[in-house]
């Protein structure tokens, strides 16, 4: 008898406090086994009079097969039989043959992020064979420790958590369980197409490995765990480096970075970009960054563009990562009322907020505007007004940020420049409670 319920019950115990368990349900063997196990756990809890999270399934129809509508209907019928709510979403996949897998995955996870909230967990039926395939695929791409860590048991998913409760189980265990419980599941013919690299590994490479190393799945899973430990330790060291040579605004001191050896420079740059943009640079990109930013003249302003409008820039020896402000689409002639109590959202750009305890004391009707040219203001404590353009230059505000800084007006007078400075006449005095402003660009 294949008994998976007890180990799965222990594995999922930390998530019993969640409001909902969402199950990524394709209708195939793996996800059907997971759905059935979750259903059995709920049945046990109901019989014992214990509370249990609401069970929900998500089926993503990629519309890549002629039978896709029938698969969606099968999943709906199965969930209805188990009394599990199901959300069926159709997505469109466009791309070349070799890119279909990654495009489908991206579309699928976008659906998951849209549905699963912070009170819930998404359960995915990846197992030990999937882990071995992922490890080998990334090895063939020349991945480092982060890539060879393969799939984590859990990770953040938008506002929620993604959890893989079957990751330490072999596919053969799931097959035996499905046979024992007479589960009817979908057999996607594309899973047998060797043109897809994962299928090539599954059907051509893994059987050969098993002939010599029968326990290769466990060995690869252990190697992935060690790579994950190595990557976590390295990340901790690199985070310390990044923090040490970063300013309060998050920019990186290139002069300080130059003191590191070449290997450490590349590693710190990769980690810095990962922290700020969520993008992993490859070796070639890391080397190009070093060449552009560490070996350029002090007066140059190099730019390194990444995908999704993300940009790496340098200005006066400081490196910063951000969405390219050129890509922000917002009303530059905006005049938006603001009471200082609610967050002021600038559509397409960012958010301005305020909290008690700062130096800014508004007087009169507040509006938020942006530079149009020729503005002058007198900074609190200074004797004369000066052109805003000159002030921004003296404050070393990078040129690409100057036009996206909100100006806070009181009536028709500039009272504050984003969260950088307060103007004369609008600073809190002794015994007065002012506001602390915060400006945050969207990413």
Q: Which residues are annotated as a binding site for ATP?
A: 26-31
In contact, 297 and 309? CB cutoff 8 Å = no
Q: Is the dihedral of CA 418, 423, 425, 430 positive or negative?
A: positive
- φ and ψ of 372, to 5 deg: -125, -10
Do residues 41 and 9 make contact, with C-beta atoms less than 8 angstroms apart? yes
Quick one: which of 320, 314, 312, 343 has its CA closest to 439? 343
> Side by side, which strands form the sheet with 434-441?
344-346, 350-358, 434-441
**CA dist 180 to 174, 177, 239, 380, Å?**
10, 5, 49, 78
Q: Side-chain half-sphere of 376: how many Cα atoms within 13 Å? A: 5
Q: What sign does the CA torsion over 294, 299, 304, 308 have?
A: positive
Q: What is the number of residues in the chain? A: 443
Query: How many Cβ atoms sit within 10 Å of the Cβ of residue 204?
Result: 10
How many whole angstroms separate alpha carbon 34 and alpha carbon 5? 10
Find the helix or strand (DSSP H, E) in which 136 lies.
helix 128-140
Q: Kindly report the number of other CB atoms within 10 A of residue 256's CB atom.
A: 14
**Cross-strand partners of 55:** 21
Q: Which residues pair with 438 in a beta bridge?
A: 353
Rounded Cα distance, 141 and 198, in Å: 13
Q: Is 409 helix (H, G, I), strand (E, B) or coil?
A: strand
- What residues contact 232, with CB distance under 8 A and at least 6 apart? none
Candidates 276, 299, 304, 264; CA nearest to 288 is 304
Q: Are 352 and 369 in contact (CB under 8 A)?
A: no
In whole angstroms, what is the distance from residue 422 CA to residue 381 CA? 10
Helices and strands (H and E) in the chain: how many:
15, 20
Closest listed residue to residue 18, CA positions, set 164, 139, 100, 117: 117
Phi, psi of 349, deg, nearest 5 = -135, -60
Residue stretches of the annotated binding site? 26-31
């Amino acid at each position: 008898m294949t008994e998976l319920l007890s180990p799965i019950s222990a594995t999922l115990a930390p998530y019993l406090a969640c409001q909902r368990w969402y199950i990524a349900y394709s209708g195939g063997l793996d996800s059907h086994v997971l759905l059935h196990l979750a259903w059995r756990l709920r049945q046990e809890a109901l019989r014992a009079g214990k509370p249990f999270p609401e069970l929900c399934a998500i089926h993503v129809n990629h519309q890549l097969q002629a039978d896709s509508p029938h698969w969606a209907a099968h999943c709906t019928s199965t969930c209805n039989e188990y009394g599990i709510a199901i959300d069926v979403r159709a997505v469109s996949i466009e791309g070349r043959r070799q890119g279909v897998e990654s495009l489908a995955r991206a579309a699928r996870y976008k659906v998951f992020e849209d549905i699963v909230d912070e009170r819930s967990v998404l359960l995915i039926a990846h197992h030990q064979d999937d882990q071995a395939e992922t490890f080998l695929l990334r090895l063939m791409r020349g991945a480092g420790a982060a890539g060879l860590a393969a799939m984590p048991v859990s990770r953040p998913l938008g506002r929620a958590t993604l959890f893989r409760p079957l990751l330490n189980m072999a596919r053969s265990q799931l097959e035996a369980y499905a046979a024992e419980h007479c589960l009817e599941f979908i057999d996607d013919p594309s899973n047998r197409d060797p043109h897809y690299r994962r299928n090539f590994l599954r059907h051509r490479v893994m059987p050969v490995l098993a002939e010599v190393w029968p326990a290769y799945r466990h060995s690869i899973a252990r190697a992935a765990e060690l790579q994950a430990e190595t990557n976590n330790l390295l990340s901790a060291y690199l985070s310390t480096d990044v923090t040490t040579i970063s300013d309060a605004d998050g920019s990186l001191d290139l002069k300080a970075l130059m003191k590191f050896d070449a290997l450490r420079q590349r590693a710190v740059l990769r980690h810095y970009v990962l922290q700020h943009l969520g993008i992993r640079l490859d070796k070639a990109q890391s080397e190009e960054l070093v060449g552009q930013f560490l070996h350029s003249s002090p007066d140059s302003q190099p730019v390194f563009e990444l995908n999704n409008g993300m940009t790496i820039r340098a200005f006066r020896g400081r490196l910063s990562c951000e969405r390219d402000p050129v890509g922000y689409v917002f009303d530059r002639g905006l005049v938006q009322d603001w009471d200082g109590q609610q967050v002021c959202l600038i559509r397409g750009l960012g958010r301005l907020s305020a909290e008690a305890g700062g130096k800014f004391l508004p007087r009169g009707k507040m509006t938020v505007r942006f530079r149009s040219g020729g503005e002058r203001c007198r900074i609190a404590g200074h004797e004369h007004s000066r052109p805003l353009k000159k002030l921004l230059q003296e404050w070393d505000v990078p040129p690409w940020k100057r036009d996206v800084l909100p100006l806070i007006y009181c009536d028709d007078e500039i009272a504050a420049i984003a969260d950088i400075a307060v103007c004369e006449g609008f600073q809190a005095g002794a015994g007065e409670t002012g506001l602390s402003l915060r400006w945050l660009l969207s990413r």
